[in-house]
Amino acid sequence: MKVICYCCGASYNVKKEHGGKIVSCKKCKARIKIPVPPISKTKEIIKTKICPMCKETILKDAKKCRFCKEILNKKEKQKINKPKKEKKWYEKTWVTLTVLFVLIILIFGKIHIVRSSDITLPRILIKHNFGYNETFINVDIITGMPYILAKTRYPLSCIILAEHEYIESDYQFERRARKEFEEEFEEEYNKLMQGIEK
């Protein structure tokens, strides 16, 4: 920057950094104020580029086009297009196994599994109410004990077996018991009458 002394006309080249300072002229010793250089008011230039897909003007540093939504950053594109890591076998099956386990528990709460020496394969009967009492029924055990004891120990089993005619119902048991009693009574009565006649 060029500075001129107004007293003697001498001129000097000074740096812009010294703007605003007061110095002495080397010839006439007059005081010279170095003017402050004007600040240039230049507008900031926004750098742009053309989107390769839709040909619209976008910012140069844009990672994604705001018009067509195309990803322009290669690293971001690789992340999206990166194939997903294949899950291991136990990660795939644990959900299936859990669902299967829950289903089995629910099913066992709604069925009776009946076994007997007369049937080769176990039979499945539907329960009246959800629960896990007497899920497995052995007909041989129930029929091998007195009726009243079986009714007391295995009430649900007796009801379901009677409905499906594996064992006698209460009505059938009463009829049979009455008939047996009447037959025994008649036999004893006949014996008694024969004894009296003799």
In Å, what is the CA distance from 84 to each residue of 78, 79, 88, 170? 12, 10, 12, 66
Mean pLDDT by 10 residues, the chain (198 residues): 79 77 81 73 71 85 85 72 66 82 91 89 89 90 88 90 86 86 86 75
Q: Is the dihedral of CA 32, 33, 38, 39 positive or negative?
A: positive
What pLDDT is attached to residue 80?
Answer: 65
What pLDDT is attached to residue 43?
Answer: 52
- Measured CA to CA, the distance from residue 25 to residue 7 in angstroms comes to 9
Q: Which of 105, 102, 117, 113 is nearest to 156 (CA)?
A: 113
Pairing of strands 48-50, 57-59: antiparallel
What pLDDT is attached to residue 168?
Answer: 84
- Measured CA to CA, the distance from residue 157 to residue 165 in angstroms comes to 12
What pLDDT is attached to residue 190?
Answer: 83
What pLDDT is attached to residue 191?
Answer: 82
